[in-house]
Amino acid sequence: MTQLHPQRLLKIAQFELVRLFLTKRGLLAVAAFAICWLLILRYPIGQAVSLISSPEIAELAQQVFGAIGLSKLLDWPEAELAMYWLIALYSFPSFCLFLCSDQLVGDKQRGTLRFLSLRATRNEMLFGRFLGQVFILAALLIVTLVAAVAVMAFREPALLMTGLSRSFMLFCYLLIAVLPFIALMTLLNTFARSARLTVVLAVLFFAGGNIVVGLLSWQIPAMAMLNYIFPGVQLDQMAGQNAGLFNSIAIPVIQTVVMLALAQRIFARSSL
Amino acid sequence: MSTLIQATGLTKQYGSKLALDNVSFEIQKGAPVALVGPNGAGKTTLFSLLCGYILPTKGTLSILGHNPGSSELFGKLSALPQDAQLDPRFSISHQLAFYGQLQGLSSKQSQAEAIRVLELVGLAEAAKQRADDLSHGMRKRVTIGQALIGKPQIVMLDEATAGLDPIHAREIRQLVSELSSEATFILSSHDLTELERLCSHVLHLDKGKLTEHPKQNNSNEQQIGFITLLLNEQYVDVEAKIQALPDVSKVYMSQAKEYVIEYQKTATAFDITLLQFCYQQGWRYRQLVNGHTLENQIFKQETV
């Protein structure tokens, strides 16, 4: 039951890609996502240079970005990527909560997991579905990044090579940043009764959890450490490129590992 | 004969409800095995334990020497779980091929295998349809098909023919009968006549307790035989008149128009004598069963 066969794991993960890109419902979600990003690419990203570099706005931008710790982004010659980074860093984790809301729960309710469990271990199903969502998010990140780089290269072709190397770095950071959000949804999927409920529970976790931790840390300051249980705790620091490697990589990776370990414990003993 | 499944002291408790109570049994390789019992008797719980969908509260279960849910059983044990549905977003052949690939088949082999099992359940022409586009009976047949992917040694079918029309139910029975030389089937059904036709070994569950009924050898005594006679109509004094026949030791009405006759085995063929007697009396009979019907074995025997 606990075995993890790489081939079966990959097959299950690949099936998730098919579910998103080759089914009607999946394609509708992709279409909605594409339209949102076309608007983002057309306006905030497409206008990034004029917004950030115009003499009228430059001083204001410097003040505003400096105040919220984003002044480093103004130094990027690839202004489109700076704008992309800010939007993607906050939108992808939120989008993730909806996109990854039905990893196991729908199949569990329908009984489809019973067919799968005769051919794959529970670990393979759990981690395969998680990995599938990671593949999907990676694919969506790549597509949006390529589009942002294309917009940038259209304005200034000379920036293409530096833009590509910077976008590769952004891709890695963004993918790592969304991992704990996907893992949180994997965890919620192990005990929730519906995909909708997993989204509700996730919202409650963030909203209610932050209030509780806020109150606790108000009474006992050391309790502020509890903020580290929330995925995305490091995003504000990452946004301004002010986060160290520990914050940018280690925190989300540790959160992901802990949530997946919890999910594994629950799923291994749950009834299908 | 080799042991396929061995259960020892199997107990499953849901809160305060005892679904299975210290159940022990062995299933050998061979003819299909029937799992019968009223609603809520624990049949689906036992199926779920065998498939590894749930864990027992107590007891041990070994399937081909492995724990239920073990990866060693993939491709060797398959099942039709009750009420489980395929994903409505994919074509049925796509899903069956995916299951084939998880069982270790190549992409090409798995597609051929999907078509093969769909042909077995008479649905090859619907291969490209999605599960949602099929009728309830067709969906059931597809899920039976998924249980036949590869070469499973044990196939468990929970209520396989429930919801199927008589023609397709008959085809499924025929399919089980044909494939029972290749795999050992474990069937759960409320249709006792169906199980009687197919199975030689009956596991009877009631209120979580198990009793076993071998189909043959209704009596331990070699000299005592049983015949179950079903008449077309309700005739007068049937029991008394049959009781008067030579060698008959006991007659009772098991249910309306159905009589169970216990007799001493002698050189004379008693069934021939009985049929001649029916003819003389002008009784039209519908069925003559050599021994007890499964239904009587399970539900009536203790009342005799």
Q: Which residues contact A211 (CB under 8 A, 6 or more apart)?
A: none
Mark which of B214, B235, B258 sits at the end of a domain. B214
Q: What is the pLDDT of residue A157?
A: 92
- pLDDT tens column, A155-185: 899 999 999 999 999 999 999 999 999 999 9
User: Looking at chain A, which residue has its C-alpha nearest residue B143?
Assistant: A115
Q: Give yes or no: residues B42 and B22 share one domain.
A: yes
Q: Give yes or no: residues B53 and B139 share one domain.
A: yes
| Token pair of A238 as six digits | 């990452």
Higher pLDDT, B202 or A146: A146
Residues of B in contact with A118 (CB under 8 A): 51, 73-74, 77-79
Q: What is the pLDDT of residue B291?
A: 84
Give the mean pLDDT of chain B: 89
Higher pLDDT, A127 or B294: A127
Q: Is B290 a residue whose pLDDT tops 90?
A: no
Q: Is B302 a residue whose pLDDT tops 60?
A: no
Q: Give yes or no: residues B78 and B173 share one domain.
A: yes
Phi first, then psi, for residue A118 (nearest 5°) are -85, -5
Tokens 């992901």 appear where?
A: A256
Q: What is the pLDDT of residue B94?
A: 95
Q: Give yes or no: residues B115 and B235 share one domain.
A: no
Residues of B in contact with A27 (CB under 8 A): none
Is A117–B51 a contact, with Cβ atoms under 8 angstroms apart?
Answer: yes
User: H or E element: which one contains B169?
Assistant: helix B166-179
B130 and chain A in contact, CB less than 8 A? no
CATH of residue B120's domain is: 3.40.50.300
Q: Give yes or no: residues B163 and B272 share one domain.
A: no
Q: Which residues contact B269 (CB under 8 A, 6 or more apart)?
A: none
Higher pLDDT, B280 or A2: B280
Among A268, A191, A15, A108, CA closest to B69 = A268
Q: Choosing among B48, B71, B107, which should be mutated to test the A contact, i.e. which has the most A CBs within 10 A? A: B71
- pLDDT tens column, A189-199: 999 999 999 99
Q: Which residues contact B157 (CB under 8 A, 6 or more apart)?
A: B79, B80, B144, B147, B176, B185, B186, B187, B188
Mean pLDDT of A221-237: 93
Q: Is A202 a residue whose pLDDT tops 80?
A: yes
Percentage of chain B lying above the pLDDT 90 cut: 62
Q: Give yes or no: residues B237 and B196 share one domain.
A: no
Is B85–A119 a contact, with Cβ atoms under 8 angstroms apart?
Answer: no
Q: Which residues contact A57 (CB under 8 A, 6 or more apart)?
A: A51
User: Looking at chain A, which residue has its C-alpha nearest residue B107?
Assistant: A11
Q: Is B232 a residue whose pLDDT tops 90?
A: yes
Q: For B82, which DSSP code?
A: T
| The amino acid at A267 | F
Q: What is the pLDDT of residue B300?
A: 60
**A residues 112-131 near B, CB within 8 Å?**
112, 114-122
Taking each helix axis from N to C terminus, what angle separates A79-99 and A24-40, rounded to the nearest 10 degrees? 150
Give the mean pLDDT of chain A: 91
Q: Contact at 8 Å (CB) between B229 and B259?
A: yes
Mean pLDDT of A76-97: 92
d(CA A227, CA A225): 5
Higher pLDDT, A70 or A135: A135
| Token pair of A58 as six digits | 């430059």
Q: What is the pLDDT of residue B196?
A: 81
Q: For A223, which DSSP code?
A: G
Q: Contact at 8 Å (CB) between B69 and B52?
A: yes
Q: What is the pLDDT of residue B221?
A: 55
Residues of A in contact with B103 (CB under 8 A): 119
Among B74, B22, B17, B79, CA closest to B48 = B79
Least confident of A237-246, B82-91, B134-143, B146-155: A237-246
The percent helix, strand, coil of chain B (3-state, each to 5) is 35, 30, 35
Owning domain of residue B53: 3-214
Q: Is B121 a residue whose pLDDT tops 80?
A: yes
**A residues 38-97 near B, CB within 8 Å?**
none
- pLDDT tens column, B162-205: 888 999 889 889 999 999 989 999 999 888 888 888 888 888 88
Percentage of chain B lying above the pLDDT 70 cut: 95
Mean pLDDT of B62-89: 93
Q: Contact at 8 Å (CB) between A243 and A237?
A: yes
Mean pLDDT of B211-216: 66
| Token pair of B5 as six digits | 């499944």
Number of domains in chain B: 2
Q: Which residues of B14-44 are buried (b: 16+ CB within 10 A; e: fewer)?
A: eeeebbbbebebebeeeebbbbbbeeebbbb
Q: Is A1 a residue whose pLDDT tops 60?
A: no
Higher pLDDT, B213 or A1: B213
Q: Is A217 a residue whose pLDDT tops 60?
A: yes
Tell me how many degrees the CA angle B5-B9-B13 measures, rounded to the nearest 5: 110
- Residue B219 counted as domain residue: no
Strand-pair category, B77-80 with B201-206: unpaired
Mark which of B153, B187, B214 sits at the end of a domain. B214
Residues of B in contact with A119 (CB under 8 A): 74-75, 99, 102-103
Is A119–B102 a contact, with Cβ atoms under 8 angstroms apart?
Answer: yes
CA distances from B47 to A219, B52, B79, B156, B158 (A): 53, 9, 9, 8, 7
d(CA A192, CA A196): 9
d(CA A75, CA A81): 11
- pLDDT tens column, B247-264: 899 999 988 899 999 998
Q: What is the pLDDT of residue B235?
A: 92
Q: Give yes or no: residues B107 and B13 share one domain.
A: yes
What are the residue boundaries of the structural domains of chain A, listed by start? 6-269
Q: Give yes or no: residues B296 and B201 share one domain.
A: no
Taking each helix axis from N to C terminus, what angle separates A195-219 and A160-189, rounded to the nearest 10 degrees? 100
Mean pLDDT of A208-212: 95
A2 confidence band (pLDDT: 50, 70, 90): low
